[in-house]
Amino acid sequence: MYLKDLHILNFKSWEEAKFDFSPKLNCFVGLNGSGKTNLLDAIHYLSLTKSYFSSRDNRSIKNEADFFMIEANLYRKEEEVQLYCALKKGQKKVFRKDKKEYEKLADHIGYFPAVVISPYDRDLITDTAEIRRRFTDNVISQGNATYLHHLMRYNKALQQRNSLLKFFAANHKFDADSLEIYDHQLAEHGEYIYQQRLEFAEALKPRIQHYYEFISQGREEASIEYLSQRHEASFEDLLLQTRSKDRVLQYTSAGLHRDDLIFKLNGDSIKHYGSQGQQKSLLIALKLAQYEFIRDHQQLVPVLLLDDIFDKLDEKRVATLVKLVHDEDFGQIFITDTHPERTVDLVKQIDANAKIFEI
């Protein structure tokens, strides 16, 4: 699977641009602020129907414009497919495959998988549990539409339960039967999500260790631990145990929305005890493990988007990463860099069918 071309209009810093890509390696080279990362983000948009770097869709519309458009041709399983995405201010986002509009954007998730490795990924280690849950959900959802369905239903039931708790507090009343309706929904959808997250964490453990050893050339043990209140009790019991507390707090204090992933090195949290170099190595190992997980579960080779990582890594790690992506297990790769000489050298090392675009 690979992206044949790309056409964008009014997307972030770009007024218009067209590119024809190599099926293996593509490099965007230019100064900081030239729009390289925005090109990767346009590709990510075609994968997950949203920006990797912006939380609001309107921020992807170029200043002084009122819409953006992204269009591309994708070669997938020996077929050529056209993807189209557009957003006009104040209107619903439009996403089409071969000129047929999706009824639900969620139906596209997993069709064109992509994995991003970016300096912004450090948030996965240093930021809140919500970031790590979002990462987990995005990865699993790309290959499991049922998971995405249960996740959306769980979140809806959670929102409704929280609204009911606020209603009880505001009106000084309580109805256990009404609350149990949402308890049942949270338990039903939560159990499926929990099992999939558990399997995901177990699948990632050996992959992270393998890639960490390769990247760092070290003997440290890299691992992840999945934290969930569900380990200790069923969802029904958890919600019953915290019912009185929830009535006081006016929100649901127990459930999957409290889960977390802890990244460890030799048994210790890398967030608190790891050096910057160790954290960088583990993040790359995590993303490569994600890549392998998606590839194995979907039987599709994802597109790999490497954003400005060579400026953030030492030469040793760069050389090691180059060896990895040269492997035939990796498909199409997009790289951004600020140094043309380094990019040319990279292309020579990989000895691949490559294109360099000066931005």
Q: Is the pLDDT of residue 351 over 70?
A: no
Q: What is the DSSP letter of 187?
A: H
Model pLDDT, residue 352:
67
Q: How far apart are CA 350 and CA 288, in angstroms?
A: 18
**Average pLDDT of the chain to the nearest whole number:** 92
Q: Could you report the per-residue pLDDT of 191-214, keeping only the tens digit for each?
A: 999 999 999 999 999 999 999 988
Which two tokens mark 18?
A: 């067209």
Return the amino acid letter for 159.
Q
Q: How far apart are CA 354 and CA 135, in angstroms?
A: 30
Q: What is the pTM of this model?
A: 0.91
Q: Which of 28, 31, 32 is nearest to 19 (CA)?
A: 28
Model pLDDT, residue 210:
92
Once rounded to an integer, what is the mean pLDDT over residues 71-97? Answer: 95
Strand, coil or helix: what is 320? helix
Alpha carbon distances (Å) from 255 to 133, 146, 158, 184, 317: 12, 19, 9, 12, 39
Mind listing the domains of the chain with CATH numbers?
Answer: 1-113+305-359 (3.40.50.300), 120-299 (1.20.1050.90)
Model pLDDT, residue 273:
84
Residues 63/83, Cβ–Cβ less than 8 Å: no
Q: Could you report the per-residue pLDDT of 129-180, keeping only the tens digit for each?
A: 999 999 999 999 988 999 999 999 999 999 999 999 999 999 999 999 999 9
